[in-house]
Amino acid sequence: MKNIYKKYIFETDKNEIENLSQNPTIKTVNNIIEFKKFIIFSFKLYKNNSNGVASFCIEYKEFFKKKNPFWKHAELKLFIAYKNDEIVGHIAAIVDHFYCNLSKEKIGFFGFFEFIDDYKSAQKWFILKGIIKMQGSINGRIYVGCGFLYEGFNLSQSLLSSYSPEYYISFAEKFDIKKARDFLIYYIDLKKPISNKLLEKAQKCAASDIKIRPFNRLHTQKELKWWIKFFLECFAYHWRYVPVSEDEVRSRFGVKQMRWFVEPRLFIIAEHNNSPVAFIWFTTDYNQIFQKMNRILGLFHILPFLIKKQQINKKEYYILWVLKKSFVIKI
């Protein structure tokens, strides 16, 4: 009988796969104790890495809770690899049935991946579920923790970007994983002056009937009402994206905390007839602080965070979106 009181999606009284592997030993995550080991390994892996940063503990916990709307149309199995009773890696095998139905492909995602000697455990579980194609690294959703870093390992991981050690590439090649897509990050030297051409276009736009305003942090819930609809409409044209409910977007880690980390002067909204038609969003690269905090947020971290916040010297250009059906201004 299914236990309705279990809090996390992975909690079960039954192992679906037995004798996964002997060298290394592969075990499935079925309870909170094993899940904590799953989380802690990431922190250990990146502890001495000057560029990579592990995810927040709360980020893991929120995503895997049964109440997350994502699990209404998806299921998963978590695996941990041990050698000599020491954890050497973990991986998640995720099947998003909504994605499979819309794409008409029997495809599964492997994600929450940190180095493991092989991913045959995920393959076995996918086969049991009738999946014939595997893609990753994707942490459940295409716009969260997607892909392996291919170059730029000497650069620090920015707040909203993915990071993985360089040896993951050789691992992927070993198992004949083929690259599906490039995700690019650009760096801009803000010491250089803005071009006259760009300034001229900005002035023409300002002289039109477009109104520019900052994000209103005091009315975050009101702002989220238009922003989530905006997100769903604009993201609909992205690779491998499938439409989801507004509740699922709202449940994402970061969206719920938007009020606390959005800086209004860095989140600029363009409106026409009092309706948002475009926005540009920059964020302070808090990873410069989070890396030293080991990505743990608690009561005792608030004061050090506020003090060190003033020392951050990098902003991240998160996203620029314009509604496809919005009007066009000739500039």
DSSP 52-80: --PPPHHHHHHHHBTTSGGGGSEEEEEEE
Q: Are residues 211 and 169 both part of a single domain?
A: no
Contacts of 265 (CB under 8 A, 6+ apart): 214
Query: pLDDT-based confidence at 1, cuts 50/70/90?
Result: very low
* CATH label of the domain that carries residue 298: 3.40.630
- Counting the structural domains of the chain, the total is 2
Cα–Cα distance for residue pair 17/127, rounded to 1 Å: 11
Residue pLDDT, tens place only, 211-264: 888 988 888 888 888 888 888 887 777 777 777 888 887 777 667 777 777 778
Please give the span between the terminal C-alpha atoms of the chain, in angstroms, as a whole number.
65
Range 80-95 average pLDDT:
86
* 210 and 317 together in one domain: yes
Which stretch of DSSP H or E encloses residue 202? Answer: helix 196-207
Within a domain: residue 10? no
Q: pLDDT exceeding 90 applies to what percent of the chain?
A: 5
Say yes or no: 155 and 249 in one domain: no
Q: Give pTM, 2 decimals.
A: 0.70
Q: What mean pLDDT value characterizes the chain?
A: 76
If asked whether residues 148 and 208 sit together in one domain, one would say no
* Residues 30 and 145 both lie in one domain: yes
Q: Which residue type sits at 82?
A: Y
For residues 92 and 211, state if they share a domain. Answer: no
Distance CA 172, CA 180 (A): 12
**Bridge partner residues of 22 (DSSP):** 25
Q: Dig out the tokens for 200 from the structure.
A: 């001229």
Residues 85 and 168 placed together within one structural domain of the fold: yes
For 194-218, the pLDDT digits (tens) are 788 878 877 877 777 788 889 888 8
For 97, the domain range is 25-174
Question: How confident is the model at residue 97, as a pLDDT?
Answer: 92
Confidence class for position 4, pLDDT limits 50, 70, 90: low
88 assigned to some structural domain: yes
Cα 163 from Cα 167, distance rounded (Å): 12
Domain membership flag for residue 102: yes
Asked if 51 and 167 sit in the same domain, the reply is: yes
Please give the residue that has the higher pLDDT: either 15 or 266. 266
Number of CB atoms found within 10 A of residue 143's CB: 16
In a domain, 202, yes or no: yes
Please check whether residues 167 and 36 belong to one and the same domain.
yes
How far apart are alpha carbons 193 and 49 in whole angstroms? 34
